[in-house]
Amino acid sequence: MNELKWEAMAVSVASLISLVYVWQPGPYPMGAFTFIAQPLFLVSLASYAWKTVKDMRARNVL
């Protein structure tokens, strides 16, 4: 499997935004969670899934 550095950084940033939102649920934290954190989570998940599939194909698992 390739390195997962940027995916890990993306989920860290998204989690930090989510943490702020959970404790300070104002409109701007809510906007940041909705329009930045959630897409970051999804993009990093998609990239992770893609790398996992590539890794499994390389190992003839898939």
Partner 1 sequence: MTWLDIVRVLGSLTCVLTIVGAWFIARRRFARLHEQPAVSLGITTLPATAFWKLSALLVLAVLPAATIAVANYHTFVGIHEVQACSQCHVMRPMANDLHDPTSDTLASRHFKNGYIPTGQCYACHSDYGFSGDLAAKLEGYRHLARYTSRTYTEPLSARTRFDNHQCLKCHQGKTAFERVHMHQDVRARLESSNMSCLNCHGRAHPTRADRTPGSARYSDLIKLPTFAEADHE
Cβ proximity of 32 and 21 under 8 Å? yes
Per CB under 8 A, does 38 bind partner 1?
yes
Cβ proximity of 17 and 33 under 8 Å? yes
Query: What is the residue whose two structure tokens read 């993009």?
Result: 43
* Nearest CA-CA partner of 38 in 6, 5, 10: 10
Per CB under 8 A, does 61 bind partner 1?
no
Per CB under 8 A, does 15 bind partner 1?
yes
Per CB under 8 A, does 22 bind partner 1?
yes
Residues that bind partner 1 (CB under 8 A): 1-5, 7-9, 11-12, 14-16, 18-19, 21-23, 25-28, 30-31, 33-35, 37-38, 41, 44-45, 48-49
